[in-house]
Structure 1
């Protein structure tokens, strides 16, 4: 039997299992997203080549690979954020609960409500903590103060931020620390009642303590949401994800359970990347 490629990742996987945070059985889980033969272009430059992947419901998928390999492009395809860029086009299908999100009948507002986005750099609005969280519900027409109060408390608790800010909800969000601002942005995304959270390197600019809080939060949220995370931190991917897709030069080189990818990958190129031989 082939030996694990890295003792470090084996230890992380084992620690997850012993702590009760073992990975989901992704092969036998209901699919939330299905990408089929997806190709994508920025004008004449092709950025993605024939991507096919199944993202299980209520799981965490990590997208890994060197910079410029197509991870964030694919992530943004899942809620059609790339549509905002002139000169882009695609081929193939991306299905959410069995329906092609690029179909002519798709309501973009509803899609982006169902598929929320958390960016690499925290981007709270220059408003109070309270107004940041209720922004989405207010845009949707919610005016009942008691319902808005409920949403704020629920979402801040889900984002593990309530105890830190409950006494200053009407203070400026810009006064929060970087880690708190990122959790506030997660709470703001949760306030629209999404089914999927897309996270583009959500902890890359944070200190280790804040990063740990974000990782703990991801684990807690996956019981209710499907999460797709882009990360350059291999240890983070091994800690938080159930499945992993390795991208290189616009192609998905390998996809499978995180346990397999980080201990016994099928492709030598995957092994070389996660062990730091290139990238």
Structure 2
């Protein structure tokens, strides 16, 4: 029986379409640096609480920036805040030494305690609080003074006048900031003549000069070259033996390299917090996994 004119012959039939499956890109979390071992979950659990954040909301005027934050910052550990821009990391950091007090219409609800004492209690001396909770900013900001006078500034304001004592403090803090060997022969030179990485370490030394218990760092290496960044990270790892450190960073690799505990923020909420090794290798929340593996953010 002849085929209909509109029916293709076998030789004319269209080949079967074969779907091509392309492999999905491999996504992985940042690697933990074995040369800088972080505190274990048991060590974090056993560490005394230095700062306790309980049900904290924060507002810039009518705009709410933080929603019900609960977080424990262990003593003599490094806690890293990660998350996309505008998620509330720096806002919470500045709550810890009341830097947000300088912003009109800013207000905080909830509780933040330092060694069990309410940071926002009416009788708290804010100047004294900021001596105990030092701050290092994203952009190095040395004073237009000598290297020596930059470090000695805080102790001078506090009333220290003994030159020998000021020199002792300056040397100790510059050593702690891994800068002494580079500047010991030019302490009278302008701090502004230092390189960017040296200026940031000088700012760390200046913060240490007031003998703080806590050091807050708001992206301290974001403007530095890789070599200077590595020096800052080595310094953070060494300083945690004596200080409680809280660092804000956009660099997840940096958080994995230097921190003991990591807290992930998104849109003003704390999504997940825990030991750095656990959070980067076995996050509990899907949103955390998507962020640290680069699926969003």
**TM-score (norm: length of structure 2):** 0.89
> Cα offset for 1:38?
0.2
> Cα offset for 1:21?
2.6
**Alignment pair present for 1:134 and 2:171:** no
Deviation by residue 1:22-73 (Cα, 9 ceiling, x = unmatched): 3242122110000000000000000000000000000000000000000000
Map 1:9-158 → 2, pairs under 5 A: 9=30, 12-13=31-32, 15-16=33-34, 19=35, 21-24=37-40, 25-158=43-176
**Higher CA-based Rg:** 2
2:192 is matched with: 174
Specify which structure has the higher proportion of helix: 1
Are the aligned partners of 2:54 and 2:112 in contact in 1 as well (CA < 8 Å)? yes
Structure 1 counterpart SS, 2:217? strand
Unaligned segments of structure 1, at least 5 residues: none
Are the aligned partners of 1:63 and 1:247 in contact in 2 as well (CA < 8 Å)? yes
> Cα offset for 1:90?
1.2
Q: Distance in 1 between matches of 2:38 and 2:60?
A: 38
Q: Distance in 2 between matches of 1:23 and 1:99?
A: 25
Structure 2 counterpart SS, 1:219? helix
**Alignment pair present for 1:199 and 2:217:** yes
Pick from 234, 254, 261 the counterpart of residue 243 of structure 1. Answer: 261
Structure 2 counterpart SS, 1:73? helix
Q: Distance in 1 between matches of 2:260 and 2:124?
A: 29
Are the aligned partners of 1:33 and 1:96 in contact in 2 as well (CA < 8 Å)? yes
> Cα offset for 1:264?
0.4
Q: Distance in 2 between matches of 1:153 and 1:90?
A: 38
> Cα offset for 1:153?
0.4
> Structure 1 pair 6/240, CA: closer, same or farther in 2 (3 Å)?
farther
Q: Distance in 2 between matches of 1:62 and 1:73?
A: 14
| Runs of 4 or more above 4 Å deviation | 5-8
Are the aligned partners of 1:6 and 1:262 in contact in 2 as well (CA < 8 Å)? no
Unaligned segments of structure 2, at least 5 residues: 1-25
Are the aligned partners of 2:29 and 2:281 in contact in 1 as well (CA < 8 Å)? no
Pick from 228, 237, 242 the counterpart of residue 219 of structure 1. Answer: 237
Q: Distance in 1 between matches of 2:36 and 2:108?
A: 40
Pick from 197, 207, 210 the counterpart of residue 189 of structure 1. Answer: 207
> Cα offset for 1:223?
0.3
> Cα offset for 1:6?
6.3
Structure 2 counterpart SS, 1:260? helix
Structure 1 counterpart SS, 2:288? helix
Structure 1 counterpart SS, 2:215? strand
**TM-score (norm: length of structure 1):** 0.95
Pick from 280, 284, 289 the counterpart of residue 262 of structure 1. Answer: 280
